[in-house]
């Protein structure tokens, strides 16, 4: 099955492909390699020369970096890995399996090994796990000129230099972050600290979430946020390009989870059939079990159903309206909470806002529903019986109740999840619809019992 649906170009001759790609930019080489099986991609890499190969491996867009590295001859893999940026290399090791992982790790020089082990110790999705340990730091007693000379010497070996970090010479605590452009405009003879901005540098703990790193970078318009340990020592930096990659990945996870499934960790056409099934079947089965309550609810109303079969006609219409209004409210509150527009303690403000909104939306749909029933009756499309007016009223009133209930439930679910310590973004449209469906049936038959008592029921 898998072979049928993979997205690869015809397998190419590695030597020909390497010659064709040699002058392309690394991201463009990555695009071409993503179309090839890992073994071919590995041969192409070896044909590009060490410097280009490292550049390519450093690209987070390389889909099968782990498989490619595993396909390299062990003695060639070592030097290439040692050349990679530490944060990217840690990503690759994180996805690698034993015993290949330990074997490759031990082929690295001791210093790189220690760095990688330290990065791997940070939990997934933490700021520490995406930080780079390659930054430029200088002691606080240096001058601007000394600092610029130092940058000139190390520039080629550092992934990115946006700012220079100034450390206390004795304690090594971070004192300041000096942007390059301020360094250029400063007097060469002045202290490097004199070029620093007035405020204390914004920092983050390695154990904080990478989302928090993204928020800081976005809020303070930074190019990198320094990661410090408990004592204030600089241990790495999270750069803006890592944050953008994390944001793109996070957006994908969020949409998939809101769609009612576990987030995939591979591209759609690459993930195996079994893995795809597992990610989708779990939530689908949970939702199905929850939705079984509707069958139980319907069984409870079987007498009413037999007496007034006309009521069944509108069950899908009414239930879906509850689910749809709930899905809207959930999507609104997931983002409002994520962006800190709304805090946990604001739940009652939100409830006070959703209540009239739900009533108004329900009244609009109720009006449409009643108009539809009246129109079909008058035009002779369908006969809803002698009491059609009361049936229309039942549908209209039930819609007001259900849409209001859906809006309230949908808006409160993200708060409940956060209160319980979960990510509000784990709320999904299908989950809200399932929550609202059973109560929707109860509301519908409850309204019917009141309005139709003595006539149909």
The secondary structure of 100-148 as a DSSP string is HHHHHHHTS-HHHHHHHHHHHTSPTTBHHHH-BS---EEETT-BHHHHH
* Contact call for residue 7 and a second copy (CB under 8 A): yes
* Contact call for residue 244 and a second copy (CB under 8 A): yes
* Contact call for residue 161 and a second copy (CB under 8 A): yes
Interface size with a second copy, residues (CB under 8 A):
118
From the list 11-19, 87-95, 126-134, 329-337, the region that binds a second copy by CB under 8 A is: 329-337
Which residues ranging from 179 to 238 are in contact with a second copy (CB under 8 A)?
A: 180-182, 184-185, 199, 214, 217-221, 223
* Contact call for residue 11 and a second copy (CB under 8 A): no
Residue from 137, 320, 377, 426 binding a second copy (CB under 8 A):
320
Distance CA 17, CA 12 (A): 7
* DSSP secondary structure letter of residue 342: S
Residue from 75, 98, 111, 306 binding a second copy (CB under 8 A):
306
Distance CA 198, CA 216 (A): 18
User: Strand, helix or coil at 98?
Assistant: coil
Instruction: Report the nearest approach of a second copy to the CB of residue 169 (Å).
Output: 23
* Contact call for residue 241 and a second copy (CB under 8 A): yes
Distance CA 167, CA 327 (A): 50
* Contact call for residue 388 and a second copy (CB under 8 A): no
Spatial strand order of the sheet with 174-179 comes to 137-139, 163-167, 174-179
Which residues ranging from 38 to 57 are in contact with a second copy (CB under 8 A)?
A: none
Nearer to a second copy, 22 or 74 (CB): 22
Residue from 11, 19, 121, 248 binding a second copy (CB under 8 A):
248
* Contact call for residue 374 and a second copy (CB under 8 A): no
Instruction: Report the nearest approach of a second copy to the CB of residue 141 (Å).
Output: 21
Nearer to a second copy, 161 or 207 (CB): 161
Instruction: Report the nearest approach of a second copy to the CB of residue 421 (Å).
Output: 21
Distance CA 263, CA 246 (A): 14
Binding mask 330-359 for a second copy (x = CB under 8 A): xxxxxxx--x-xx---x--xx-xx--xx--
Which residues ranging from 60 to 89 are in contact with a second copy (CB under 8 A)?
A: 61
Residue from 46, 71, 193, 317 binding a second copy (CB under 8 A):
317
From the list 36-44, 103-111, 426-434, 449-457, the region that binds a second copy by CB under 8 A is: 426-434
Instruction: Report the nearest approach of a second copy to the CB of residue 344 (Å).
Output: 13
Distance CA 266, CA 276 (A): 10
Structure tokens at 41: 């991609």
* Contact call for residue 14 and a second copy (CB under 8 A): no
Distance CA 42, CA 46 (A): 6
Residue from 36, 132, 328, 394 binding a second copy (CB under 8 A):
328
Instruction: Report the nearest approach of a second copy to the CB of residue 85 (Å).
Output: 11
Instruction: Report the nearest approach of a second copy to the CB of residue 192 (Å).
Output: 14
Q: Which of 259, 238, 240, 212 is nearest to 135 (CA)?
A: 238
Instruction: Report the nearest approach of a second copy to the CB of residue 260 (Å).
Output: 5
Q: What are phi and psi of 269, to 5 degrees?
A: -85, -5
* Contact call for residue 172 and a second copy (CB under 8 A): no
* Contact call for residue 302 and a second copy (CB under 8 A): yes
Radius of gyration of the chain from its Cα atoms, rounded to whole angstroms: 30
* Contact call for residue 315 and a second copy (CB under 8 A): yes
Nearer to a second copy, 113 or 252 (CB): 252
- Crossing angle between the packed helical segments 50-57 and 74-83, to the nearest 10 degrees: 70
* Residue 169 and residue 141 in contact, taking contact as beta carbons nearer than 8 Å: yes
Instruction: Report the nearest approach of a second copy to the CB of residue 150 (Å).
Output: 10
**At 224, which helix (H) or strand (E)?**
strand 224-228
Nearer to a second copy, 140 or 298 (CB): 298
**Non-local CB neighbours of 221 within 8 Å, separated by 6+ positions:** none
Which residues ranging from 111 to 140 are in contact with a second copy (CB under 8 A)?
A: none
* Contact call for residue 101 and a second copy (CB under 8 A): no
Which residues ranging from 392 to 421 are in contact with a second copy (CB under 8 A)?
A: 403
Q: Which of 260, 286, 264 is nearest to 273 (CA)?
A: 264
User: Strand, helix or coil at 239?
Assistant: strand
User: Strand, helix or coil at 296?
Assistant: helix
Instruction: Report the nearest approach of a second copy to the CB of residue 81 (Å).
Output: 20
**Non-local CB neighbours of 48 within 8 Å, separated by 6+ positions:** 18, 21, 22, 29, 56
Neighbouring C-beta atoms of residue 60, cutoff 10 Å:
18
């Amino acid at each position: 099955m898998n072979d049928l649906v993979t997205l690869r170009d015809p397998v190419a001759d590695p030597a020909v492909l390497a010659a064709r790609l040699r002058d392309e930019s690394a991201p463009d080489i990555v695009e071409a390699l993503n179309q090839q099986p890992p073994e071919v991609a590995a041969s192409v890499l070896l044909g590009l020369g060490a410097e280009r190969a490292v550049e390519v491996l450093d690209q987070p867009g390389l889909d099968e970096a782990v498989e490619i590295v595993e396909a390299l001859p062990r003695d060639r893999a070592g030097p290439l890995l040692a050349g990679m940026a530490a944060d990217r290399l840690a990503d690759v090791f994180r996805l690698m399996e034993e015993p290949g992982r330990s074997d490759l790790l031990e082929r690295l020089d001791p210093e790189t090994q220690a760095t990688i082990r330290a990065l791997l110790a940070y939990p997934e999705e933490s700021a520490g796990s995406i930080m780079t340990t390659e930054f430029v730091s200088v002691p606080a007693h240096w001058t601007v000129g000394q600092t610029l000379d130092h940058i000139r010497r190390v520039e080629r070996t550092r992934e990115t230099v946006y700012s220079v970090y100034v450390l206390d010479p004795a304690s090594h605590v971070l004192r300041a972050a000096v942007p390059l452009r301020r360094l250029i405009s400063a007097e060469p003879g002045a202290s490097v600290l004199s070029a620093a901005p007035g405020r204390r540098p914004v920092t983050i703990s390695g154990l904080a979430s990478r989302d928090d790193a993204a928020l800081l970078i976005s809020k303070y318009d930074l190019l990198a946020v320094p990661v410090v340990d408990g004592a204030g020592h600089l241990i790495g930096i999270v750069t803006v390009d890592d944050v953008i990659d994390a944001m793109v990945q996070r957006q994908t996870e969020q949409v998939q989870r809101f769609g009612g499934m576990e987030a995939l960790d591979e591209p759609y056409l690459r993930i195996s059939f079994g893995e795809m099934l597992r990610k989708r079947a779990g939530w689908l089965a949970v939702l199905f079990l929850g939705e079984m309550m509707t069958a139980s609810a319907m069984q409870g109303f079987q007498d009413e159903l037999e007496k007034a079969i006309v009521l069944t006609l509108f069950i899908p219409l009414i239930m879906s309206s509850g689910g749809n209004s709930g899905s809207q409210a959930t999507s609104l509150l997931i983002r409002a909470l994520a962006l800190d527009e709304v805090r946990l303690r604001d739940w009652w403000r939100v409830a006070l806002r959703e209540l009239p909104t739900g009533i108004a939306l329900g009244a609009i749909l109720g009006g449409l529903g009643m108009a539809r029933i009246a129109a079909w009756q008058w035009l002779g499309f369908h006969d809803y019986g002698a009491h059609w007016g009361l049936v229309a009223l039942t549908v209209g009133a039930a819609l007001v109740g259900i849409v209001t209930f859906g809006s309230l439930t949908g808006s409160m679910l993200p708060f409940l999840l956060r209160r319980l310590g979960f990510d509000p973004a784990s709320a999904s449209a299908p989950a809200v619809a399932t929550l609202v469906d059973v109560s929707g049936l109860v509301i519908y038959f409850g309204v019917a019992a009141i309005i139709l008592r003595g006539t149909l029921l």
